[in-house]
Structure formats: C-alpha cells, structure tokens
Amino acid sequence: MLVNDNPPTIRRIDTTRDDAYAFDVTGHVTAPDIENMYGLLEGAYEIHDKIDLLVRMSSYEGFDWSAAFKETTMIGKTHALRHIRKYAVVGGPAWIATMMAVFKPFMSLEMRHFEVDEEADAWAWLDAEPAEG
C-alpha cells in the first residue's frame, strides 16, 4: 500500500494568520478523523487562547454518527466552545446551515455558513487567506 492510497479525510489548510485555522473535509468522516482534527485544535489552544476556524466541506460524503457521541468528541466540542471566536463552514449538506442556525443563539462564538461559491467571503469574514503552498 502506498502512503497516498488512503489520504486523511480531514486535512489542515495553512493560513496567513497564526490564530486562524482551516480544514478541508473530503469523503466519509470517521471517529479517528474527528479525533485527529480535535487533536490539532487542542495544539492550537495551547498557543492561542482564541482562534478563528474555517471548515471547507469540498467533497463531503457522510459522517459516522456514532463518532459524534464519543467522549473524546464531546470533550473536543466543549474545548472548542471556549476557544473559537469565529467559525465559518463552507459548503456541505443543507442540514449544516440549518443546524448552525438552530444552535447560533446558544453559542458565544460567531458562526456563519457559506455556500461553496462564497468561499472567498468566508475567508474575508475571518480576515485570513489560505497560505500559498
């Protein structure tokens, strides 16, 4: 098996700001994918008390719902609520925007959903850009 035969489902996108983090979600998201993402975010919280986050769902193919209720996922979500200032989601299924709208009044962080063709607006809202590779 070659290293690229199974690329990660959630990949970090480097940004132009130290306290702005971004991820590209492709394929079917599993518990290990979520744990890896929250691990990267925990590292960010060690460096920055508050961060901005963009999640681009470019080729999302589903979610392992059992992963949403694992203890590590719940802990990751709790920490995220304390450390994320702005949270932008680009693309994804229609229910993402609906869920964000439902939970927005109960959250201390700013959240916005952007359509795929509005990705530049999402980056502008965070006052960040993807870093040149």
- 55-95 pLDDT per residue, tens: 999 887 877 766 665 665 555 666 677 889 999 999 998 88
Token pair, residue 64, equals 């392992």
> H or E stretch including 73?
helix 71-83
Let me know if residue 88 belongs to a domain. Answer: yes
Owning domain of residue 8: 3-126
Taking only the tens place, the pLDDT of each residue in 11-43 is: 999 999 999 999 999 988 888 888 888 888 889
Residue 29 one-letter amino acid: V
Token reading at 67:
């992963």
The CATH number that applies at residue 48 is 3.30.750.24
Distance CA 20, CA 110 (A): 14
CB atoms within 10 A of CB 10: 20
Rounded Cα–Cα distance for residues 54 and 121 (Å): 11
Using the predicted structure, report yes or no on whether residue 6 has a pLDDT greater than 80.
Answer: no
The token duo for 47 is 């460096």
Tell me whether residue 132 is in a domain. no
Determine the pLDDT at residue 133. 60
- Report if residue 81 sits inside a domain: yes
Give the residue with greater pLDDT, 21 vs 4.
Answer: 21
pLDDT of residue 106: 82
Provide the number of structural domains found in the chain: 1
Name the band, by pLDDT with cuts 50, 70 and 90, for residue 115.
very high
- Considering the domain boundaries, does residue 15 fall inside one? yes
- Please give the structure tokens belonging to residue 72: 């590590």
Confidence grade of residue 1 (pLDDT, cut at 50, 70, 90) = very low
Phi-psi region of 84 (alpha: psi -120 to 50; beta: other; left: phi over 0): beta
Is 34 within a domain? yes
Whether residue 42 is contained in a domain is answered as yes
